[in-house]
Amino acid sequence: MKNYLRRILMVPMAIIPFLSGASSEDLSFSFYSDYFYPFNPIEERYQTIKLCYRFTGHSSRTVYESFGMFNKNGIRIYSLNSSSHSLVYRKKYAATFNVDTSANGNSNVYEMIFEIIDANTFERLESTPIYSIKQRRQTKAIESLSNGILEYSNSGIGINSYNENVVERFDFNSLNYYVGSDVYYTLDMSNQVIEYTYPLPYRQTDAYLVFEDKDNIFPYIFLRDESGRKKIFLTYEQNGNYVTFKPMPAFYYIDPTTYIMADYKLDGFVSCQSFYLPIGQREKMEGMKMTLVINGAGANRTNLTYEMTFFSMYNLFGRCITSEYCVKGGLSND
């Protein structure tokens, strides 16, 4: 009797490296708030704008936030400032401004900018543009679009030039009805692609997959939607006009023995950069219905849904008929 081992591979684990603090000053900021606002002075004279960011550097500076409107020469013609405060590493900050929306009806207004300013030197440490458009904020089921295309015509301040008419276009024809896993048991979203055309980068509020876990395959995924379905949070990457999605890195933890995932830290679980499927559970997941949910997509903050089915050809290791790698046994004359 002779056994033939086809191949056995060790499954790599991607563990987030510990990040140590830098000794020198580092003025790094991460913005995560909406930067499109539907200024409409006819409907509402004053509008509350909330700008959010996290300080990710190292500094003891005192700063304040400023909202400003500027003309084509870069001269500030309208501004609001917040109270000053010290910067604290990894702390989230939110600055709220009650903006007079009639001010942006001034033909001299060319751009609007949110700034973080040194309270002592008045140096601009960081800034991000604010764009004014009339947003639709619609909800669309992608599979209901007859040609897989969604378009909006926008006009607003800060989009190439004042009050220029531009088209926001989503092409969903590269989305796949199936979502699966690769041979390393990671949830594979690489075939889910949206083509996005607009002068400004793609943005979204959040995105996730929702599904009914009837067999309790993911016992430690506790976050759910309103109907009780479990949620796997996604992030996005934009390369040119193409937007792709993947499970949010560092949000989940894994048992390195069973590959069971958790959305909070448990004893023996470690952080990972991918979302893994539990070993030996692929066949139970076959045919599972999943919904891709994208909230606040693009400049018009469209809410999108797309129905998909889980389908995966092979396990990494197991029975030869259903696995990429297996052990074959039998008689040999050698």
pLDDT computed for residue 83 by the predictor? 93
Model confidence at 282, in pLDDT bands (50, 70, 90)? Answer: confident
Query: Which has the higher per-residue pLDDT, 77 or 144?
Result: 144
Q: What is the pLDDT of residue 122?
A: 94
Of 309, 62, 315, which Cα lies nearest the Cα of 192?
309
Element (H, E) at 285: helix 282-285
Higher pLDDT, 67 or 45: 67
What does the pLDDT read at residue 20? 38
- C-alpha 126/C-alpha 133 separation (Å) is 23
- pLDDT tier at 154, thresholds 50, 70, 90: low
Predicted pLDDT at 12: 41
Q: Taking phi first (over 0 means left), then psi (-120 to 50 degrees means alpha), and beta for anything else, what does residue 284 get? A: alpha
Model pLDDT, residue 234: 92
In the 8-state DSSP scheme, what is residue 18? P
Using pLDDT thresholds of 50, 70 and 90, give the confidence band for residue 237. Answer: very high
* Residue 48: other Cβ atoms inside 10 A: 10
pLDDT at 3: 42
Strand order, beta sheet including 261-262: 261-262, 253-254, 270-271
Per-residue confidence band for 60, with pLDDT thresholds at 50, 70 and 90: confident
pLDDT band at 253, cuts 50/70/90? Answer: very high
Spatial distance between the Cα atoms of 195 and 239, rounded to a whole number of angstroms: 10
Q: pLDDT higher for 16 or 329?
A: 329
- Going from N- to C-terminal start, the domains of the chain cover 29-133, 139-317
Please provide the average confidence, as pLDDT, over all residues in the chain: 79
Determine which of 77-91, 150-164, 250-264 has the lowest per-residue pLDDT on average. Answer: 150-164
* pLDDT tens per residue, range 22-41: 446 888 888 765 555 655 54
Buried b (16+ CB within 10 A) or exposed e, 267-286: eebebbebbbbbbebbebbe
Does residue 78 register a pLDDT over 90?
Answer: no
| pLDDT over 90 percentage in the chain | 34
What pLDDT band is residue 332 in, cutting at 50, 70 and 90? very low
pTM of the model: 0.63
Q: Tell me, what's the pLDDT at 315?
A: 54
Q: What integer pLDDT is reported at residue 70 of this predicted model?
A: 84
pLDDT in tens, 287-331: 899 999 999 898 888 999 999 998 875 555 555 545 555 545 444
pLDDT at 187: 87
What pLDDT digit, counting tens, does each position of 129-151 carry?
877 666 677 899 999 998 999 99
Q: Output DSSP code: residue 42.
A: T
Higher pLDDT, 162 or 128: 128
CB proximity list for 17: less than 8 A, separation 6 or greater: none
Secondary-structure class of domain 29-133 per CATH: mainly beta
DSSP state of 171: E
